[in-house]
Chain A
Amino acid sequence: EVQLVESGGGLVQPGGSLRLSCAASGFTFSSYWMSWVRQAPGKGLEWVANIKQDGSEKHYVDSVKGRFTISRDNAKNSLYLQMNSLRADDTAVYYCARGLPWELPNQYFHHWGQGTLVTVSS
């Protein structure tokens, strides 16, 4: 069974940093693109970033470029999101989502974690 378990969320002050983790199991992690998708309280879904199987290619939504960094450790079956210079509008539930096992970055998401809440507030 595919499982994605996020951790690392919490309360952080504006301008602060946080590192999210996603532990993957039940599939060959190194074969899949992985993404982070967020959802502000009571709002819709926003794709944040994705990373290729070997980490050689990454894409970001403009609003997080230069502030967030996606990475992965295939030996540990883990996905990460380093978030710096956090702002109030980064407050959201952050979901880890499994993409597809192909070359192209085009991704829809068969599997999602339960999410971890990040609150940016003073």
Chain B
Amino acid sequence: DFVMTQSPDSLAVSLGERATINCKSSQSVLYISNNKNYLAWYQQKPGQPPKLLIYWASTRESGVPDRFSGSGSGTDFTLTISSLQAEDVAVYYCQQYYSTPFTFGPGTKVDIK
């Protein structure tokens, strides 16, 4: 199975500052035949289901603010919030969908400093 790790476990960032979350897969999630990375990012606020932010590692879901961006390839990925807003306080998860069982990272909690 693909093991997903995330760093840091938590971070506190000042409003308007950049937040960077890293995700690493134990195996490459890059599918060579279509050159796509099978990696998604979700945001989860307390008491709510997860919300899709990014898929194919860097494609922003419709309606997601452009301060959210995804990058990386192969085994190493990054979610960046360019200018943290109060409503971005949440836990963020990466997910590989290269193969079943699909697996999620353990989550990174983002707070305001």
Contact = CB atoms under 8 A, between A and B. Distances in A.
B74 interface: no
A106 B42 CA distance: 16
Interface in B95-113: 95, 97-107
Interface residues of A, number: 21
B65 interface: no
B66 interface: no
Contact of A44 (B1, B100, B102, B104): B104
Contact of A110 (B52, B95, B99, B101): B52
B61 interface: yes
Interface residues of B, number: 25
Interface string B48-81: 1111100100000100000000000000000000
Interface stretch (A20-28, A80-88, A112-120): A112-120
A35 B95 CA distance: 14
A108 B100 contact: no
B45 to A, nearest CB: 12
A1 interface: no
Interface of B: 1, 38, 40, 42, 44, 48-52, 55, 61, 93, 95, 97-107
Q: Which 9 A-B pairs have the closest CB atoms?
A: A112-B49, A108-B40, A59-B100, A47-B102, A61-B101, A45-B104, A106-B97, A108-B55, A44-B107
Given A44-B105, A95-B50, A108-B52, 8 more contacts: A44-B93, A45-B44, A45-B107, A47-B101, A47-B103, A50-B100, A106-B97, A112-B49
